[in-house]
Amino acid sequence: MPEPDQTTRKEQAVEVAVFLFLVVPSLVLSLFAVRKGSLSFVLSAVAIIFRDLALVFLILYFLWRNVESVERIGWRLRRASWEVALGMALFVPFLFGMAMLERALLWIGLSRPATPLPSFLEARGGAEFLLAAVLVAVVAVTEETIFRGYLILRFRSLLRGSALPVLLSSVIFSLGHGYEGSAGLVTVGVMGAIFAIIYLWRESLVAPIVMHFLLDFLSIVLLPLLKAK
């Protein structure tokens, strides 16, 4: 077993290559599956939950193998209440800024789908809305762990600095949102970069997780639930 932080750059490169081989194809292929329109909400939600949890367990295995603390991927609960409050305070200007960005991207000719949510993310009925709430909670924690905590950690070790790791992790994060059109793809990439900057600033994933959760809860649970009524 290696000593903490003593894994070589070659070992880290192989590790992250294996991880990306598991992650990127599923993100890209999900776009084609969505376009076929054959995925139900329940099937999609359960698949996403299990996929993301499996990836997080793989990350935890890598950390255990390398004798690395989970704090290295932003799992820090010090002053958690303050970090939660910060995430909630930042959410409103963040949401407004992303709406303005998407509007500007549409103005210059980028596209977005006619419906705000694809069918595979559209819950119907009480049980599905409950599953949707579970989905957004799991996704907020797991995706911030995957795309901010783990990938930025490894990219910073391999590439040095922070700018390129933030860019790469944000581009990979956006790949799974191709169903949102070109405007949505760029907007999601910028969202990922903002989450990454907040994570690096705070050295904790708590605030980005809160912001990610609120964003998905608003679009996947709250607004559709209000429309259903």
Given its phi and psi angles, is residue 109 left (phi above 0), alpha (psi -120 to 50 degrees) or beta? left
Q: Which two tokens stand for residue 61?
A: 């295995």
Q: What is the reported pLDDT for 37?
A: 53
Q: Which two tokens stand for residue 219?
A: 């679009």
| Alpha carbons 1 and 8: distance in angstroms, whole number | 13
Q: What is the reported pLDDT for 50?
A: 95
Annotated domain spans of the chain:
9-228
Q: Please indicate, yes or no, whether the overall pTM of this predicted structure exceeds 0.75.
A: yes
| Alpha carbons 107 and 181: distance in angstroms, whole number | 14
Q: What is the reported pLDDT for 176?
A: 83
Q: What is the reported pLDDT for 35?
A: 52
In this prediction, the residues of the chain whose per-residue pLDDT falls under 70 are 1-7, 29-38, 116, 229
Query: In this predicted model, what pLDDT tens digit does every residue of 78-103 receive, in sequence order?
Result: 899 999 999 999 999 999 999 999 99
Q: What is the reported pLDDT for 97?
A: 97
